[in-house]
Amino acid sequence: MWADPRDKGGMPPILPLDDQSIAIAVDHIRAGRLVAFPTETVYGLGGDATNGEAVAAIFEAKGRPRFNPLIVHVPDMIAARGVGKFDKRAEELASRFWPGPLTLVVKRMVDSGVSELASAGLDTVAIRMPALRGARTFLAEVGRPLAAPSANRSGKVSPTTAQHVAQELGDAVALILDGGPCKVGVESTVLDMSGETPVLLRPGGVPLEELEEALGRKIEVAGADTAIASPGMLESHYAPALPLRMDAREAKAGEALLGFGPVSNATLNLSETGNLREAAANLFAMLRDLDSSDFTAIAVMPIPENGLGRAINDRLRRAAAPRG
């Protein structure tokens, strides 16, 4: 047998999606731990979207090689408006298709408290209000937006039962809420409403035709038109404007030094203790801070190429690559 997450430790408890288990799940989320929960589409791997280290733990549990933006889940429209800016068209789509298998990408609210890591440093955010009642009860009880990608290891199929989740993630989650098999079974449709023209980023539970009918116009499909970036390109969009240099031991004249580990001369430090989760949580916010400073370039100290370090280095390499 090859590496099985269940060999690393115990299996997480699987509890029925009822008020009692939801109360336990809420405590885990507030303590920064991860909880898998059912929705009508697939099972989600949920963490407090306002807690950068909990969001980092999601990437770590999935073993994702890079930081792509996660869907932020909310129980109602009031919570949704606290996370993103809804213009008239987005409001109309939400009132027609939510709760349900539609994810809307809109501009981020500046003071939403949502970690920059959850939206991979972008100025937009993907939001969804799931239809499964128990999922919304959980979200309402948590009282904070939950970042939740599908609860599978990176590159594997999305889980549609609690047992699938246990096989995939083992005790990387504190608890699995069991709501039975998912009714829709495919991921949500992702529609980008943040620009002038609506763009379909991912087909899913809500058909394109229904969205076009609701908007009264054609929707462009990402990747189908050369004018529109593919979702993969959108994901990797954020990079600082200042030139960036990796594996730096010290700053040259004019450079800001972004540290990692116990160093005294860093301008900012991703993690003084060399903790990759903390570093991931700080990455986008610190790049942004340094980018808006008077320095002429950003020098980043070496980050180990293991675990979350891979995703951190992936993002730094893209930022360091020559731009045309």
Residues in contact with ligand AMP by CB under 6 A are: 68-71, 105, 119, 122, 124-126, 149-150, 187, 190, 192, 201-202, 231, 234-235
Query: Nearest distance from residue 78's CB to ligand AMP, in Å?
Result: 21
Question: Looking at beta carbons only, is 222 or 312 nearer to ligand AMP?
Answer: 222
Query: Nearest distance from residue 149's CB to Mg ion, in Å?
Result: 5
Site for Mg ion in 79-108 (CB under 5 A): none
**Token pair belonging to 226:** 């050369």
Report DSSP state, residue 119: G
Question: Looking at beta carbons only, is 21 or 68 nearer to ligand AMP?
Answer: 68
Residue 176 interface partner, choices ligand AMP, Mg ion, none, CB cut-off 5-8 Å depending on type = none
For Cα atoms 101, 238, 300, give the angle at the middle one, nearest 5 degrees. 135
Closest C-alpha to 144, from 29, 39, 255, 58: 29
Question: Looking at beta carbons only, is 192 or 255 nearer to Mg ion?
Answer: 192
The region that residue 310 occupies, defined by phi over 0 for left and psi between -120 and 50 for alpha, beta otherwise, is alpha
* Cα dihedral across residues 43, 91, 195, 209: positive or negative: positive
Query: Nearest distance from residue 284's CB to Mg ion, in Å?
Result: 21
Contact (Cβ atoms closer than 8 angstroms) between residue 189 and residue 200: yes
Residue 70 interface partner, choices Mg ion, ligand AMP, none, CB cut-off 5-8 Å depending on type = ligand AMP
Query: Is 150 a residue that touches Mg ion (CB under 5 A)?
Result: yes
Residue nearest to Mg ion (CB): 150
Residue 68 interface partner, choices ligand AMP, Mg ion, none, CB cut-off 5-8 Å depending on type = ligand AMP
Query: Nearest distance from residue 194's CB to ligand AMP, in Å?
Result: 7
CB neighbours of residue 4 within 10 Å: 9
Query: Nearest distance from residue 187's CB to ligand AMP, in Å?
Result: 5
Question: Looking at beta carbons only, is 30 or 202 nearer to ligand AMP?
Answer: 202
Give residue 277's identity as a one-letter amino acid code: R
Query: Nearest distance from residue 110's CB to ligand AMP, in Å?
Result: 15
Residue 316 interface partner, choices ligand AMP, Mg ion, none, CB cut-off 5-8 Å depending on type = none
What is the C-alpha to C-alpha distance for residues 29 and 128, in angstroms, rounded to an integer? 18
Packing angle between helix 19-30 and helix 133-142, nearest 10 degrees? 40
Query: Nearest distance from residue 248's CB to Mg ion, in Å?
Result: 34
Bridge-based pairing state of the strands 199-202 and 189-192: antiparallel
What is the C-alpha to C-alpha distance for residues 71 and 267, in angstroms, rounded to an integer? 32
- Give the burial class of 45: count Cβ atoms within 10 A of its Cβ; 0-12 exposed, 13-18 middle, 19 or more buried: buried
Question: Looking at beta carbons only, is 228 or 234 nearer to ligand AMP?
Answer: 234
| Site size toward Mg ion, by CB under 5 A | 1
Site for Mg ion, rule CB under 5 A: 150
